[in-house]
Structure 1
Amino acid sequence: MRRTSFAHWPCSIARTMDLLGDWWTPLVLREAFYGIRRFDAFQVSLGIARNTLTDRLRRLVDEGLLEKRPYQTEPVRYDYVLTEKGRDFYGVLLVMNRWGDRWLSGEEGPPVVMHHEVCGQEAHAEVVCSSCGEQMTAENTSPRMGPGYPPHLAERPDVRERFAG
């Protein structure tokens, strides 16, 4: 069965999920942030099938989140290095980690804590407004159509109602 593509939906969440595709992709990115760079190290760390890992790494390279850099010529082998686009995904992983720590950790506490090198403290992600610095929540934030919203959809009554505020 063919998977529905969300790549052209007028929603950045849907587009991001289309790029990720499955649960392995964010885990491959997590490992890249933990310093893993080589295919065999990804494979051992995740316990992922080699063909699945090959597919996920190819997709992340094709989408510009990772870059292949040769470290050996006979046979050719590559390091997989985060690009600027890939490094920018770190905040997404931190927010997912924060949610998991809050709702899925047992009494023993979170399995991994984040140490903020700047202040020297253990910390967690918070989503704050880029304008005023206040925390953004479902109660104090609402979606609005942006400049990239397709005009032909913007005229539909159900869409207008969704963004009416």
Structure 2
Amino acid sequence: MLAPRTNPAMLSPFHVAFPVHDLELARRFYGETLGCPEGRSSPDWIDFNFYGHQIVAHLSPEEAGVAQKNDVDGKDVPVRHMGIVLPRTDWDAMADRLKAAGIRFIIEPYIRFKGEAGEQATMFFLDPSGNAIEIKAFANIEMLFAKQPQRWRTKKNGLDA
């Protein structure tokens, strides 16, 4: 099992809340499938430790699963998504874990920009309520916030990807 990143000296934890249609399914998916330790909970929400960050599944069936997509590198990427950047060895382990759990990927694990400055491994999948999750790993973590070259931009912006 992958160990969550919990050293607050190394990161500033973010907090994100998202809707789910079933808290028990969320508990199993985030707790068991993704390996996120559970924090506080109530009949209406559950906190999870998502690699040192606080994510909160809120029971809100009417809002769960709403998805708009944009074209990125010729793939339909969910506009509303959350995710985490992992070290490559952890990313590989998570990809194997998700495949073993039978998770259906929106975007199968693959490498973007292979051999280029922004090389990154990425994968997209949905939780049981239809919330999109991206997990990625950079070949060079220092490229995480690098400005993108022209070729990275999408056709939607008037440029070829």
Same fold (TM over 0.5): no
- Return the structure number with greater helix share: 1
Relative contact order: is structure 1 or structure 2 higher (C-alpha 8 Å, sep ≥ 6)? 2
- Return the structure number with greater strand share: 2
Structure showing greater radius of gyration is: 1
